[in-house]
Structure 1
């Protein structure tokens, strides 16, 4: 077996095409978009290169065919979130069912990270935000949502036999959109309607892209940016996210709660794009873009129709008041009217018991489990799981 650092067009093609070989007997696998993968390694498109670095490798057999791949990265903005442990990342791992091959991939990544002062590595993660390409699928081997990897069950053994330990679990929760909410939600919404006129609830249909970005930016930074491993978002970044979502956005899925006109909570969802991309393929060249437009048109006119929750948050000053309950009551009516039949809510960490309690309260059930592992380079050091959000 030979390890090759990805540096040529041929290496990049091997890196991108390997999953089709790994998953040829997995009918639920949906290929990620090549452009999304390549963007993670392009300094012109990935702003994390401004304060970090990344590289990737392919592992080939004696015939020169790719049998494994991995990437490693250091992001200086997050590497020292734990002030006692410099932590890098590995991701985009794919490998045949061979522990020796997997060990070669993990070892080259570990050596590269150690040479850059890291004392541990988390993986599989992304060289970027947590909203995509993050975690190893260990339960619920159904079709993946857009931006999330599908993995074969044997990957768990490859990681754990190398010495990775569970740092945290992240759940995907599913519910039928029209399934009734607990009666307490309706009572809360009625209370707000009668007693709290300063609160309003609305989706983003009719709002400008600038206002959507400003509302999202405001709630995100107050509700999420203080969590470990999550950085504050600039307004420019919020505008960029809205521009990226516009081609696939359904503004009826972007819900906000306002207090005296100021955004205090959000529930942001998108159409589940893999239900479109699975008919398109991984290459968004001209033919792929034309096919995408056609498949998107078909998707918008068929049922069942799936959406996925991207992010949910409440500004701390308004938590514990039932704002989220009232917002979800208003949202449910609009989502049913818009023709959506099921929702999967991505990325609910086991370190966030309040969010897990809310998903249970709305009748959502865990449908998939991903694991973010951590490997300590010093085996004598005490391992600690991710801290619980209180």
Structure 2
């Protein structure tokens, strides 16, 4: 017998956070997310997706009142798919197929009652850049805001009938690995052009870099597939939020005279510091974080976004930018590895860029889909 509890009171909210910590307590690769980052997803005042959606959390307990699973299930009107599709995420479960099936059935019923015809998971009630996908290869320490799970989760999903809607590839590269000769040749070529210059992003000029970032991003990605235009004010707000962890040596912009034409944005992997805080981030933990950040080397940085405006694409300007930035950060930082966060297998253009950087795939996540009509033909995510 499994008892279902909707998460409503403080005790249940705390259990929603504590259950995975107990479940993974002996897994050395598990890094507990900050409680605040989880709770903000379910706070209508913090999560804009509540304006066009609905989300509920559940705990699942056995006859001894012990938690055996948890999940959040939601509908999001902006999540437009071929058929009405709901989502679920923040799934954790003991290694028991019957328990997992019960949870999946519960999600299915909840979504059917709201007119959905399919469910995707594990996904986020929010943007794709956080808490999205199930790890199916590469069970190593997760990056900040990246899901992590046991290998047996894959069997729980696939035994129920889920199929992979798309894979999320994560690429990695040692900072001091040999750089492609193509990049050094392009660097030598563009270095001779007095109109071309590269500079790192600095904290004291975030307004300018927010403006330049927005311009490059909108030209490079807004019209690409599922891209959307960014607003300069929102970009600046995002930059100011990131300011405490910005490293002034690892994000680079390229200019033709003063016109922004390319950018390569990176951040330190904050999980390398947060893993010592056990999910908490109160006053004491913030002081501890600052101490750790100052005295403990962080050897891993994360590639956030990469962009070249259309008129400069296929001209090797990315080689100039990458080699210019790489030479600099090798001298001025402790980073030894760069990670590119997930790239959908439906995006061959970005995969090609990653491969051209001489990276290797270090982990894969999967976004699964389950069609409620089992006779309906399953289709994977269309290629961009």
Instruction: Give TM-score scaled by structure 2 length.
Output: 0.94
What is the Cα deviation at residue 269 of structure 1?
1.0
Once residues 54 and 309 of structure 2 are traced to their aligned partners in structure 1, the CA distance between those partners, rounded to angstroms, is: 33
Once residues 48 and 177 of structure 1 are traced to their aligned partners in structure 2, the CA distance between those partners, rounded to angstroms, is: 37
Report the RMSD for the aligned CA atoms in angstroms: 1.8
Check whether the contact 2:197–2:256 (CA below 8 A) recurs between aligned residues.
Answer: yes
Q: Deviations over 1:104-162 (max 9, x none)?
A: 22222222222222222221111111111111011111111111121100000111112
Check whether the contact 2:16–2:59 (CA below 8 A) recurs between aligned residues.
Answer: yes
What is the Cα deviation at residue 66 of structure 1?
1.5
Once residues 85 and 64 of structure 1 are traced to their aligned partners in structure 2, the CA distance between those partners, rounded to angstroms, is: 38
Structure 1 residues 214, 111: closer, same or farther in 2, change over 3 A? farther
Q: Which residue of 2 aligns with 1:120?
A: 118
Q: Which residue of 2 aligns with 1:136?
A: 134
What is the Cα deviation at residue 227 of structure 1?
4.7
The count of corresponding residues between Structure 1 and Structure 2 is: 382
Match of 2:255 among 243, 254, 258: 258
Q: Which residue of 2 aligns with 1:176?
A: 174
1:372 aligns to 2:370 (yes or no): no
Q: Deviations over 1:154-194 (max 9, x none)?
A: 00011111221111111111111121211111111122122
1:14 aligns to 2:15 (yes or no): yes
Once residues 27 and 193 of structure 1 are traced to their aligned partners in structure 2, the CA distance between those partners, rounded to angstroms, is: 46
Instruction: Give TM-score scaled by structure 1 length.
Output: 0.93
Check whether the contact 1:171–1:368 (CA below 8 A) recurs between aligned residues.
Answer: yes
Once residues 21 and 305 of structure 1 are traced to their aligned partners in structure 2, the CA distance between those partners, rounded to angstroms, is: 28
Q: Deviations over 1:309-366 (max 9, x none)?
A: 1222233343222222211111101221222211111112212222222222222111
1:243 aligns to 2:240 (yes or no): yes
Instruction: List structure 1 runs of 4+ shifted beyond 6 angstroms.
Output: none
In structure 1, list runs of 5 or more residues that go unmatched: none
Q: Which residue of 2 aligns with 1:331?
A: 325
Check whether the contact 1:123–1:135 (CA below 8 A) recurs between aligned residues.
Answer: yes
Once residues 106 and 219 of structure 1 are traced to their aligned partners in structure 2, the CA distance between those partners, rounded to angstroms, is: 42
For residues 1-390 of structure 1, the aligned pairs below 5 Å read 1-77=2-78, 79-80=79-80, 82=81, 84-195=82-193, 197-205=194-202, 207-299=204-296, 302=297, 305-339=299-333, 340-389=335-384
What is the Cα deviation at residue 369 of structure 1?
0.8
Q: Deviations over 1:21-55 (max 9, x none)?
A: 21122111110110000011111111222222211
